[in-house]
Structure 1
């Protein structure tokens, strides 16, 4: 589902904007990797907390601020115009979604990963294996990254809005997914059985 969204988006961008700015997408991937590396101190600090809910909240907020700071620097240095911003946002979204998919595949491809996931589920934890959850995440993430990059290309002061929105999306999605996964899976099962 996620790969179909990315392929479709790349085709639309190439048709509408041409491929002259497509190289900026690779720089968007690189910028996302820099943002990922910049999160390491927050990950290390949050990992020491005993309360998982508090740890997730801190990670959601700090990763959003870190990501938007890196995105702002990237836009100020690399992006020139809306076509360039769209390709850059696509690269950023591509990197994030590939990372998420690779992480989920690795988690369930090893026996110990499957055992850990089952143990977490049995203790009331959250592990998403349903395609509907991945599709919602993919569309939301891609839309957000394209929009945030366009806003920052329009003016650097938008970073205040994008950082706040990014933190809100992270927090809401994490809480929604944990509490509503059963509803999402049930709704999808009902649709497929009809």
Structure 2
């Protein structure tokens, strides 16, 4: 994930098309939903075409985060990625009042086999596939909140890392809530690196 100055141009398909997906370097590509929905659609199509031409072991998982309500056009591409992350603000802008309702609604909008995941701050997070049950995980609340900047990104990064390592959806969301909760209790991100070894240890024992 790259944090940049606000005046940096949005990623174009022309730039993305230079990425060699056949290099087997890429296992998972995550997109933050921005104003370039039409360009992102082309990027997803490029990845889909790649996935259709290779063995499952070389296919690339995709995810997209819908966070900022100022980009309503992103609603038109929720059926493109394998995982759709929805923020509390985005959900409320659609008239949805809780994380469980959000994933139930969006599990019907994503493509077949895809997953809708919604983080709801102090109320934890939920996830659902079209044919599955709603998975609801409580937040790991901290007695002393120090710094909440980046908690949403921390959650998304932790969930994708857990899923990429083979964890179940329930375990991945729980891990994401745990790491995001820990983030609230520390300044910055430096101390979060210890959760990488925790994930590796748990994967080795599974």
TM-score, normalising length: structure 1: 0.30
Task: Using CA pairs under 8 Å that are at least 6 residues apart, name the structure with larger relative contact order, 1 or 2.
Answer: 1
Structure ranking higher in helix proportion: 1
Structure ranking higher in strand proportion: 2
